[in-house]
Structure 1
Amino acid sequence: MNYILGIDLGTSSLKGVVFDDKANFIGSSSASYDVYNPKKGYSEQDPNDWIKAFEKVVDNLNNSLNIKDNLVALSFSGQMHSLVLLDKNSIPLRKAILWNDVRNSKQCDYIMNEFSQDLLCMTNNIALEGFTLPKILWVKENEPKIYENVNKILLPKDYLRYYLTGKFNMDYSDASGTLLLDLKKHKWSDEILDKFEINKECLPDLVNSTDLIGSIREDLKKKYGFKNDVKVFAGAADNSASEIGSGVIGKENSMLLSIGTSGVILYPEKNVHNLYKGKLHFFNSINKNLYYSMGVTLAAGQSLSWFKNNFAKDESFGKLTENIDKISPGSDGLLFTPYLNGERSPYFDSKIRASFIGLDISHTKLHLVRSILEGITFSLKDNFEIINNSLDSKIDNIISTGGGSKNKDWLQIQADIFNKNILTIDIEEGPGLGAAMIAALGMGYYKNLVECSKAFIKYNNLIKPNLENVKIYEKLFKEYRKIYTNTKDICKNLSII
């Protein structure tokens, strides 16, 4: 029996997910690492910690599953945008600057003032603090001695793959999140590189997610005790891997809804277009000819975690959300906007802050909890509406994954607010599943992604919308959408008092 390994290099941990060549789940392991916050707004990681976490995961999987005798292939999912800079000896010059680092607002403003329309035309995205280009410009301006010694610019999973194979590459899904890729031409943009004086030689070769990069180095093969030559395939950005691991590609009239710390609504796109005009993200998918659009709520599950940690520390999430079905839809006139960290799409406003609107003396803790779940879902519907209004066909199903798919009452809220059928996945292994599927496709176990999805992914029963609740939520959503417009100036003024 042959094993394949999906590696998900996330923001807080690295997870390894093992399947056999018949798409049977074998097991998994994870290892955490630190995030460093040396100053307010800074978020960094040591690339060496990713290697240590990988080795710990392999060691755990060897001990529990004896993968060393059966492993034949692996691939990756990785956190997007985070900047890794290597010197001429391929040693990291500094800690990686992560996607959630916001020190580069000045550089974002500069990019948009100098190049906004050209950037949007070539990349289908606008400059935000999370993207890679403004991080590069921050280093260039603030750490010139480090920048002078840059020989390679990579993203996290690309650095780990380099460590395993000795080869430099970046797949299109991650490259499209750097603001350096011309989506239409499928190549690094000479115009952007020239404009911001970035050496093209520092960028790795572009590949599709399923491309074979090489095999694990002979010295590492011996170190880990692998019996076979383990083939290494390029992998994908975490959201693209989630798209693959949810089966939404090839599933007609469906979208992906993923609620973790942040929240994502994602739709597979067949062609490059600019209907969203920068209000949503637009990235490459598993290869250079496939794409997806994506809306993001910054503090989705984090809003619930914030409430729990501050007002119900001793309660589990299960206990906290128990009996929310006893509260009527709309939480008896209470609305919550989940703008605890500002908001990403469709507002792209770092100054906006969260609100409870309509709070009165009759409201209980359970009302607040339900309104938080409703507010997170309303925020994601804000993005859903932009996509849905651009489509010729009707969306029938939403595939719900992440923490938001674990609570039956929240799933019903999702069905009612979106007025769509909600599907969940039987065995959900997140982006790591998508990474394993990429390895399976690379090995030729399946003819195409649709066939691969049928083998790996099984869905649970549909959650259908309650039409009475749908009518209530349609009215409430109209009121919800007024909150941003009517509070943005207040929040901006509060931020400078």
Structure 2
Amino acid sequence: MGYVLGIDLGTSSLKGLLMNKSGKVVAFAGADYSLLHPKKGYSEQNGEEWIKACETVFSKLIEKVSDFQKELEGIAISGQMHGLVTLDEKYNTVRPAILWNDTRTTAQCAEIMEDFGERLIEITKNKALEGFTLPKILWMKEEEPGLWEKTAHIMLPKDYLIFRLTGELATDYSDAAGTLLLDVAAKKWSDEILEKYGIDAKILPKLYNSIDCVGKVSPEYREKFGFEKEIKVMGGGADNACAAVGSGITVSGLGMVSIGTSGVFLSYEEEAHSHYKGQLHLFNHGIPDAYYSMGVTLAAGHSLNWFKETFAPNESFEELLSDIHSIPAGSDGLLFAPYIVGERTPYADSKVRGSFTRIDTTHTRSHFARAVLEGITFSLRDSKELMAGLTGRKFDKILSVGGGSKNKEWLQIQADIFDTEIITLTTEQGPGLGAAMMAAVGLGWFNNLNECAGTFVHYKSAALPKSENVRKYNEVYESYRKIYEATKDL
């Protein structure tokens, strides 16, 4: 039969998705781990937790699938982006990994932009933001020079797991693009950036395509878990690149809106252009020689979760949203700006905060609940408008994944605000599916990821825009866009 395993190394858990050649999900297993917050704004993780979680997933799959050990042929890993993992000469971790959601590096980001300015965007296609890896390296050099002196290898979270499984020091282009060290168009580490900050290229992992085999599971792991075949490990990818692959974003014309804790509006790109000037992220795709652009809402699902926990802690989301269908588009004038932890796109402002505006005595809790959903979607429309305005791109359909795809009324709100048909996946498996697809292509089961998507990814129509609501939301959106300028200085 033959199986591939897509591993999703996330911020709070590791998940394994086992699939066969026909694109069927054979089994799923997961394991949680903890975050470390030693100081305000710090977010770290012990890499050994990822290893233990992966071993737990292996053990659970052995229990669930009788021929897992016999038939596993390939593995690829999707990883949380930007995290800094440091190893010494003996390949021991120097310190806990500094994660993507760590905000200690504001000063270092300012330093990088002052040093490079527009040149940074020319090379990396992105501005320096706290989430990226390079500012973390500069912070470590400045604040922990003794630990930096011990550092012989740096890598990203999923690459550490690859190293432990195979003994190989490797990364892929999609994850490397989130470091601010990669020349995105040239697909090589940037000599200019490395030289400026005194970073020896020898400490960086070798670069691969996501579908390339970077190594094989070591004899020690094969013996420990009873694997019978030589198991190839592919380059894998950044979580958003893997989510795009697993959602079939492998050709132009289809956009993706993903609503989790944060929110993402993502689009396939054929070239590493500079149209966005850092206003949107542009990264290498999991597809060789392709790219994807991305705008980010920092508090998407987080805004809805905050609202529920604050105003309806004893109710389910279904109960909280049960009456929003009775509230008209635009929530009778009530507006919500989801900037409760700052905002990424289009403002890159960590200090702005959220707001409800235009409240009056007719507004009920259901008005507020609907306004939260509308505000989150307006924020994601900001990214769509940037893509359209700067490149002329149009979307035939938009795929909704994550929490925003679970509520029928919210799907209709998305269709109306984006003025585009919304589709969903028949089975949503996220980044783990994209990683499994990379493993399948790497094994030669398919010629490329687009061909693989035809077998592994399936859609269904979810909502069509309603012209009356589209007109109303276009008016409301113009008011929403004024909120940032009106409130940022408060």
Short-chain TM bin: over 0.9
Distance 1:16 1:395 in 2: 32
Distance 2:287 2:328 in 1: 45
CA separation of 1:37 and 1:74: change in aligned 2, threshold 3 A: same
Query: How far did 1:184 drift?
Result: 2.2
Distance 1:65 1:317 in 2: 34
Q: Equivalent residue for 2:399?
A: 399
Q: Equivalent residue for 2:349?
A: 349
Q: Equivalent residue for 1:185?
A: 186
Distance 1:108 1:259 in 2: 27
Alignment deviations for residues 329-370 of structure 1 (CA, whole Å, 9 cap, x no partner): 111110001101100111000110001011122211111111
Asked whether the 8 Å contact 1:165–1:215 carries over to 2, the reply is yes
Where do 4+ consecutive residues of structure 1 move more than 4 Å? none
Higher alpha-carbon deviation: 309-318 or 167-176? 309-318
CA separation of 1:355 and 1:392: change in aligned 2, threshold 3 A: closer
Query: How far did 1:323 drift?
Result: 2.0
Task: Confirm or deny that 1:210 pairs with 2:211.
Answer: yes
Asked whether the 8 Å contact 1:296–1:380 carries over to 2, the reply is yes
Q: Equivalent residue for 2:24?
A: 24
Task: Confirm or deny that 1:336 pairs with 2:336.
Answer: yes
Distance 1:288 1:458 in 2: 22
Distance 2:350 2:286 in 1: 31
Q: Equivalent residue for 1:242?
A: 243
Alignment deviations for residues 114-134 of structure 1 (CA, whole Å, 9 cap, x no partner): 112221111110100000000
Q: Equivalent residue for 1:108?
A: 109
Distance 1:468 1:65 in 2: 51
Higher alpha-carbon deviation: 473-482 or 446-455? 446-455
Distance 1:305 1:123 in 2: 34
Query: How far did 1:460 drift?
Result: 1.3
Task: Confirm or deny that 1:48 pairs with 2:55.
Answer: no
SS of alignment partner, residue 489 of structure 1: coil
Amino acid at match of 2:356: F
Gap regions ≥5 residues in structure 2: none
Asked whether the 8 Å contact 2:411–2:462 carries over to 1, the reply is no
Distance 2:442 2:365 in 1: 50
Q: Equivalent residue for 2:166?
A: 165
Q: Equivalent residue for 1:221?
A: 222
Q: Equivalent residue for 1:415?
A: 415
Query: How far did 1:287 drift?
Result: 4.5
Query: How far did 1:394 drift?
Result: 2.6
Q: Equivalent residue for 1:275?
A: 275
Distance 2:13 2:319 in 1: 26
Q: Equivalent residue for 1:87?
A: 88
Q: Equivalent residue for 2:97?
A: 96
Task: Confirm or deny that 1:147 pairs with 2:136.
Answer: no
Aligned length: 489
Distance 1:392 1:274 in 2: 14
Amino acid at match of 1:338: P
Higher alpha-carbon deviation: 321-330 or 121-130? 321-330
Q: Equivalent residue for 1:263?
A: 263
Gap regions ≥5 residues in structure 1: 491-497
Query: How far did 1:462 drift?
Result: 4.0
Please report the RMSD computed on the Cα atoms of aligned residues, expressed in angstroms.
1.0
* Pairs within 5 Å for 1:457-468: 457-468=457-468
Distance 1:394 1:362 in 2: 38
Q: Equivalent residue for 1:480?
A: 480
TM-score, normalised with respect to structure 1: 0.97
SS of alignment partner, residue 390 of structure 1: helix
Query: How far did 1:393 drift?
Result: 5.0
Asked whether the 8 Å contact 2:387–2:393 carries over to 1, the reply is no
Amino acid at match of 1:195: K
TM-score, normalised with respect to structure 2: 0.98
Higher alpha-carbon deviation: 135-144 or 442-451? 442-451
Distance 1:117 1:474 in 2: 33
Asked whether the 8 Å contact 1:193–1:200 carries over to 2, the reply is yes
Distance 1:288 1:116 in 2: 28
Distance 1:189 1:393 in 2: 29
Q: Equivalent residue for 1:495?
A: none
Q: Equivalent residue for 1:64?
A: 64
